[in-house]
Structure 1
């Protein structure tokens, strides 16, 4: 619920009648204005003259924990979002005013009280934090772990800072449409700065702002959402879906036109791949139904293709017309696709560190590993690197068909589409073993400006259930930031989170 404060708890730091003054005509502070974002507020303000306003939420751990933002427009009537409040304290929020000539017009301080954190949210332990090197922003967590009581319980994204303090979260438990939110892979930020996600209960795509207000929705008649939605550069959405009326699941992709809402393309993976391949059938109840299990994808604008991760098959690159370009997977049991195409021609051949072909059949088939090369197993979260390489989270479930060691990795592959070869160029995580082994979910990320990688195991069971977000110097593989996220009760008895992102709380 929201709480409105009429000019209460405010301290005026502006100058007197003879000095600079923003000339505030009216003001109103509302805590949690949408009712769904308890650590936010909105300040409605009117000034006599045109001003530019900067916002600062004062941190409790010194200036490094401050959150500051300058509104990108000037005016005299404002609805100012206040993001990054702490729970259960009286927060100090300062607005600074600048006149049209660039002259400082003073500041105004507000003391904003918030309620306690939701009990379902996790404890956060900061293991490493080199704040001088960390990428700026908060840690945005697409959280799974929560307590359930048999009734619909929405998944709850949250953001925490480098000190481990939760500074933002959404709670849609009272929302008319999202009270049973299941966003699966999680939320991400649109090009326009808002958040977006798919919901497996309503089978819709949502756009929301940081206050939790729903701004737009897109339907997908005839299909059910699961796992992933990605925004293309042109604004359209590519979505992993179930097609209703079939006896298989998680094997279709659609594209939704952003403006019209129409479905403008469909990829039927039963046609382009072999739904009878069962090489990776360990731990699956019914491989004939969930034979591919699409869990992630990305769009490659350099050649208008999509790259799709199938947890139980491998990683596949497809054209707009659903034609296979290449397959990252062990060379075992690949036959003919549903449309009659020989799939073995699309299998990538591994290279060693010297660029020579690896010809050992036990390595090609995935029964053994090469010192320079390992296939990924039950992978998640592929992404295109700036150099064109593919990075992904190699979960390691059923590694070497159950004969391999227990570990997860972030791994990068260089692919030569002309020679149809694949070379492992970078990896992290193998030496950490059980403490970062996550057989399901999980994420990787890469920031080219800082040359930092993120390794994010989301469902670790190493004596207790937890997830981690780990920021690395890519070249040195030195840990710059590491946090352990422990839920009071892990979702499904296992999952803490699916993904995390480092992002500024205020959109750019």
Structure 2
């Protein structure tokens, strides 16, 4: 490196006090440069973290992400001139603190094989070592090493954080989550700094917040002053913070339906239990998952488009919106016991007490079929990732893919859990978050080849303690440095 190019360089670890495996480098140079940061990987292929910052200037504030807890991590800064030519490197050794005892053990059960979705696995974690709040998030690499963590312990505002479904990434690269303690939506950077928050006057937060293509937020909420809970959805204008649309599920559905009983809630109060949202930009509709009712598609005017659920005990006007199942050849299934949900068809099965609906790249719908009370029999015996092809106009549904039935109890999670598609890698991430294993409650993360259903990667997360048997709610595969 040319002499006197770097005029000053300082590094601070965990600058916010909320993300212990991060650091920040303040760099000044005698002429404009761009910088690439490389954080060493100690586990071989797939564990090095590298990011090129595109700005060319004399002063840089560089986030360093992916440090190893409780030890030194080698970090290299490579500087480039305005013409893109390398001007040399500067090597650093950065020591991050050990993680608190609240964080889990991550075991790799199936080492990576074939193409995986790049990045680390972000876990919205319920585990702890004594206090269930604040809930924490962490990300681990393909060896199971935790390389990023978010912990608001002791924070004046978020010290009681309950993010429920958890943390996800905004289009701008920052993270966001809702908090059931403060009833606000928060945007934070990867260093854990709170950048902005949004309230929801007249409502309280639970479960899920979803960024829409417009940038606004879709949120599952409770409406204050009502006798029921978890049966409203709102849209928050992100620019001004106002509630601009309200969906009242009591008006669109039937709060008296009790076909899906549960020992986890009073159905006279929590009759729907809205646990997840998805948005369909093709027709400006929303999908709302109700754990004890099914999956419903609603217009912006709160009109039902279709209902994905067994056909038992629906009011006549809603029965007309139920999806008709088809077999693999596209022929309607007419067996009354299959329609009712009492028995499965060899080529079709309803989802039960589902979570995490998602609209896939080809327009089909994936979700986590928890399998609780499957066939109206407690307890369930298996959970699935399942993909359905739905024709909204014809109101038909065809099962096109599943995984999990063959795993039985080892991936059965009657509550929470996640499914994500990774079309570039040709995989689906199946993540049961509340598995009762022989060694105690665990969560499993299984990346499956969609074409062959072979497991390309699998990890088990085991926490010191868990509430309600839940290790995590959702997981995401993403790069620590966002690709913007």
- Post-superposition CA distance 1:379-407 (Å, at most 9, x none): 00000011111100000001011168500
State the Cα distance separating 1:128 from its structure 2 match.
1.1
TM, length-normalised to structure 2: 0.98
State the Cα distance separating 1:21 from its structure 2 match.
4.6
**1:129 correspondence with 2:111:** yes
SS of structure 2 residue aligned to 1:74: strand
State the Cα distance separating 1:355 from its structure 2 match.
1.0
**1:487 correspondence with 2:463:** yes
- Return the alpha-carbon distance in structure 1 between the equivalents of residues 353 and 124 of structure 2: 20
**1:154 correspondence with 2:154:** no
Would you say how many aligned residue pairs link Structure 1 and Structure 2? 482
- Post-superposition CA distance 1:415-449 (Å, at most 9, x none): 11222111111100001000000000000000122
Structure 1 counterpart of 2:318: 343
Structure 2 counterpart of 1:7: none
Contact 2:124 2:165 in 1 (8 A): yes
Structure 2 counterpart of 1:476: 452
Distance 1:21 1:102, change over 3 A: farther
State the Cα distance separating 1:285 from its structure 2 match.
3.9
**1:111 correspondence with 2:114:** no
- Return the alpha-carbon distance in structure 2 between the equivalents of residues 404 and 421 of structure 1: 29
SS of structure 2 residue aligned to 1:177: coil
- Return the alpha-carbon distance in structure 2 between the equivalents of residues 223 and 467 of structure 1: 31
Structure 2 counterpart of 1:239: 219
State the Cα distance separating 1:348 from its structure 2 match.
0.6
- Return the alpha-carbon distance in structure 2 between the equivalents of residues 245 and 343 of structure 1: 27
Structure 2 counterpart of 1:449: 424
RMSD of aligned alpha carbons: 1.2
Structure 1 unaligned spans of 5+: 1-13, 15-19, 337-341
Structure 2 counterpart of 1:180: 160
Distance 1:316 1:22, change over 3 A: farther
One of 9, 33, 38 as aligned partner of 1:51: 33
- Return the alpha-carbon distance in structure 1 between the equivalents of residues 175 and 380 of structure 2: 38
Distance 1:404 1:164, change over 3 A: closer
Structure 1 counterpart of 2:344: 369
- Return the alpha-carbon distance in structure 2 between the equivalents of residues 418 and 117 of structure 1: 52
- Return the alpha-carbon distance in structure 2 between the equivalents of residues 64 and 301 of structure 1: 34
Contact 1:325 1:346 in 2 (8 A): yes
SS of structure 1 residue aligned to 2:421: strand
Distance 1:113 1:404, change over 3 A: closer
SS of structure 1 residue aligned to 2:136: coil
**1:461 correspondence with 2:430:** no
Structure 2 counterpart of 1:87: 69
- Return the alpha-carbon distance in structure 2 between the equivalents of residues 364 and 63 of structure 1: 49
SS of structure 2 residue aligned to 1:107: strand
Distance 1:53 1:22, change over 3 A: farther
One of 373, 388, 411 as aligned partner of 1:398: 373
Q: What pairs with 1:27-66 in structure 2 (closer than 5 Å)? A: 27-66=9-48
Structure 1 counterpart of 2:402: 427
Contact 1:147 1:491 in 2 (8 A): no
Range 220-229 or range 101-110, more displaced: 101-110
Contact 1:33 1:41 in 2 (8 A): yes
Contact 1:24 1:47 in 2 (8 A): yes
State the Cα distance separating 1:153 from its structure 2 match.
2.2
Task: Please identify runs of 4+ aligned residues in structure 1 that moved more than 6 A.
Answer: none
- Return the alpha-carbon distance in structure 1 between the equivalents of residues 312 and 356 of structure 2: 23
- Return the alpha-carbon distance in structure 2 between the equivalents of residues 140 and 156 of structure 1: 11
- Post-superposition CA distance 1:320-369 (Å, at most 9, x none): 00000000000011016xxxxx1111001111111111111111111111
Structure 2 counterpart of 1:298: 278
Distance 1:319 1:241, change over 3 A: same
Q: What pairs with 1:299-314 in structure 2 (closer than 5 Å)? A: 299-314=279-294
State the Cα distance separating 1:239 from its structure 2 match.
0.2
Structure 1 counterpart of 2:60: 78
State the Cα distance separating 1:42 from its structure 2 match.
0.4
One of 328, 331, 337 as aligned partner of 2:308: 328
- Post-superposition CA distance 1:455-478 (Å, at most 9, x none): 000000022210011111111111
- Return the alpha-carbon distance in structure 1 between the equivalents of residues 150 and 457 of structure 2: 24
Structure 2 unaligned spans of 5+: none
Distance 1:63 1:328, change over 3 A: closer
